[in-house]
Structure 1
Amino acid sequence: MSEQAPAGWYPDGQGNERYWDGSAWTEHVRTPPPVAYSPPPDPGAVAVVVATTETSESSNVLSKLGSVVKKAAADRKATKEEEAREHSERARAAGPLMTSGVFGISTIEIYEGGYVRVAEGREGNSRATDITRSTPFERLRSISFASPETEKPEAASPSSSIEGAVMQAMSGLVKGGKLLTKGTAIGLAASGVAQIAANSARKSSLVIATDRAIHTLTNQKHNGVYNVSQKEHNAVALALVEAGNAVLGIAGEPEPEVTVEAVAVAAALPATPTLSDRLRELSMLHQEGILSEDEFAAAKAKLIAGL
């Protein structure tokens, strides 16, 4: 034993411990004290603890998720209840139905309390959209009708503009001074353009502004090939405007009496279609095979060049 070792009990090499007094071994010998034994952890108990922890965490996640789902469902229910309540309140405020009518593919109802309901038809439909129990009541702000206006004599009509573009595109196909007739392919094309252009000239619009939307409606419906203007619906629009202005209490000069003759004259007046309307009509003729690719390209170029 090193002389630097402090006094204490040390193994004597024979399974016992002998006391070292700091300078020499003494006669004191003892049996080493027993070492405290710590048994290894039970794997089953560890698994139970882990499983319990995971189950607890999973339960917390499911609980939170369930709370989110329940809140979303409650919010949806509350929103529907609020919409139903508002719908009922507006229905009571609207009062009795004053008048209703179909304009183009849309159905309009005007109520004495200054409310309207509009079932706006989708473009391309061939029949009017019906008003249902869920169609909202909207506070009427204004209602106006725009019918075709007479163009100046010196101005080119929509019909002549489109027909001229198509005829110029087809002129290179006519040889030998042959006349164009409706029986020829070119004659059919010109006739189709004239029909579409004349139909577009009879297009009218009804604009209804409310506290929720601005409804821009036309007197057209789709006949399976292209949109057809229903000039007989103009009388309906005029009656709706009169009723709408009455519930709004608009003061002014008395409106002229609406007669069948006046409606017929207004429906016959041409309107100026936009460039997109004209291009759409040419595209329709091209898709139906009335115009070839070259004819369509030439007619389109003619329209664009006239801007």
Structure 2
Amino acid sequence: MSEQAPAGWYPDGSGSERYWDGAAWTAHVRAPQPAPPAPPTDEAANVFSKLGTAVKKAASDKKASKDEALRLHEERAVAAGRLVTSGIFGTSTIEIYEHGFVRVAPGGERYAEAEKITKKTPYERLRSIAFGVPEAERAHDTEGPGSPIEGAVMQAMSGIVRGGKLLTKGTAVGIAATGVAHLASNSARKSNLVIATDKTIHTLTNQKHNGFIQVSQKEHNAVAVALVEAGNAVLGIEPVAVAQPSISAPPDAAPPAQISVAAVAVTPSLSDRIRELSELHREGILSDDEFSAAKGKLLAGL
């Protein structure tokens, strides 16, 4: 090795590299090292630079969006004011705040327990809140024996006894556990709580899944009424005055008393009845023929 060669690693002729200290070989030996990669061309460097810039911008935009959402959430939390009331309706939890805000944790059809409000649940500005009272609350068991729904369920049950079309195992057990009359009227006891906000419209029901079928929780209807009263109060909406009906009042009788209600009862329409039958049909309780026969009976009553 020339004495002019700078210090460094050089092939020693034996397949290895030995360190030259600038004056003599040392005892330090290593395996041959790969050649360093060639520096990128101007075009490749430009592509990598743009890619890196795009990645950094995407990460920056994502963080900025997250920070903005957190800022708005905190602003709305302050604007909402104190919590007025909260309640569980079906599998959903609702909170109403004094300055016209609401938080909703909507449950699902397969939820057995109510969904909980968390610190991330958004504050939404309340626009309106209404409760649809089921007919069963106004006229107990109006879907009595002989009604299209119960008659259809009875036909489905008798089909099992005759060896006809079988229901699914879960549905059959559910019928045995709840009874045909209860199953037939359960859909009629379903009620809705509709909450409209500046973000979306929440349509909640008083039902939860008991492991076999959706079951209406009638006791939750009182919770819905209280939530409607609180919601209308923070919105500044006065309760609707409704006259107490009188079947046969004498000519000289006093005017009917006025009562305040938070929500007007909604009479289920024909489409509601057909929708109830459709739910039983979709769950496999009614066959195609039984569904068609029950729907025909409803339409015949027009």
> Structure 1 length normalisation: TM-score?
0.64
1:236 CA displacement: 0.7
Q: How many residue pairs were aligned?
A: 226
Partner of residue 216 from structure 1, selected from 182, 200, 203: 203
Tell me the equivalent position of 1:88.
74
- Whole-angstrom distance in 1 between the partners of 2:214 and 2:160: 29
1:137 CA displacement: 0.3
Q: Residues 192 and 82 (structure 1 numbering): CA distance in 2 closer, same or farther, change over 3 Å?
A: same
1:139 and 1:210 in contact (8 A); partners too: yes
Write out per-residue CA displacement over residues 70-105 of structure 1, whole angstroms, 9 at most, x where no aligned residue: 100111011011101100111110001110000100
- Is structure 2 residue 100 aligned with structure 1 residue 119? no
1:146 CA displacement: 0.9
The structure with the greater share of residues assigned to helix is 1
Give the letter for the 2:80 counterpart.
A
- Is structure 2 residue 91 aligned with structure 1 residue 105? yes
- Is structure 2 residue 188 aligned with structure 1 residue 201? yes
Tell me the equivalent position of 1:243.
230
- Whole-angstrom distance in 2 between the partners of 1:168 and 1:195: 15
Query: Alignment partner of 1:215: what SS?
Result: strand
Give the letter for the 2:204 counterpart.
L
Tell me the equivalent position of 1:66.
52
1:149 CA displacement: 2.6
1:124 CA displacement: 1.6
Moved more, 271-280 or 211-220: 271-280
Tell me the equivalent position of 2:42.
56
- Whole-angstrom distance in 2 between the partners of 1:163 and 1:68: 63
- Whole-angstrom distance in 1 between the partners of 2:111 and 2:71: 32
Q: Residues 90 and 200 (structure 1 numbering): CA distance in 2 closer, same or farther, change over 3 Å?
A: same
Tell me the equivalent position of 1:131.
117
Tell me the equivalent position of 1:164.
151
1:165 and 1:298 in contact (8 A); partners too: no
Partner of residue 145 from structure 1, selected from 131, 134, 137: 131
1:204 CA displacement: 1.2
- Whole-angstrom distance in 2 between the partners of 1:167 and 1:80: 55
Q: Residues 211 and 254 (structure 1 numbering): CA distance in 2 closer, same or farther, change over 3 Å?
A: same
- Is structure 2 residue 220 aligned with structure 1 residue 233? yes
Write out per-residue CA displacement over residues 99-123 of structure 1, whole angstroms, 9 at most, x where no aligned residue: 0000100000000011000001112
Tell me the equivalent position of 2:21.
none
1:249 CA displacement: 0.7
Write out per-residue CA displacement over residues 255-298 of structure 1, whole angstroms, 9 at most, x where no aligned residue: 9478xxxxxxx9xx989744243233244345xxxxxxxx7233
Q: Give the % identical residues.
A: 58
- Whole-angstrom distance in 1 between the partners of 2:157 and 2:188: 23
Q: Residues 163 and 120 (structure 1 numbering): CA distance in 2 closer, same or farther, change over 3 Å?
A: same
Give the letter for the 2:78 counterpart.
R
1:165 CA displacement: 3.0
1:141 and 1:210 in contact (8 A); partners too: yes
1:169 CA displacement: 6.4
1:106 and 1:129 in contact (8 A); partners too: yes
1:148 and 1:271 in contact (8 A); partners too: no
1:151 and 1:157 in contact (8 A); partners too: no
Tell me the equivalent position of 2:290.
299
Please list every run of 5 or more consecutive structure 2 residues that lacks an aligned counterpart in the other structure.
Answer: 1-37, 163-171, 243-258
Query: Alignment partner of 1:231: what SS?
Result: coil
Q: Residues 193 and 103 (structure 1 numbering): CA distance in 2 closer, same or farther, change over 3 Å?
A: same
Write out per-residue CA displacement over residues 180-231 of structure 1, whole angstroms, 9 at most, x where no aligned residue: xxxxx9xx78x85432221112111111111111111111000011111111
Q: CA RMSD, aligned part only?
A: 3.4
- Whole-angstrom distance in 2 between the partners of 1:169 and 1:232: 29
1:201 and 1:271 in contact (8 A); partners too: no
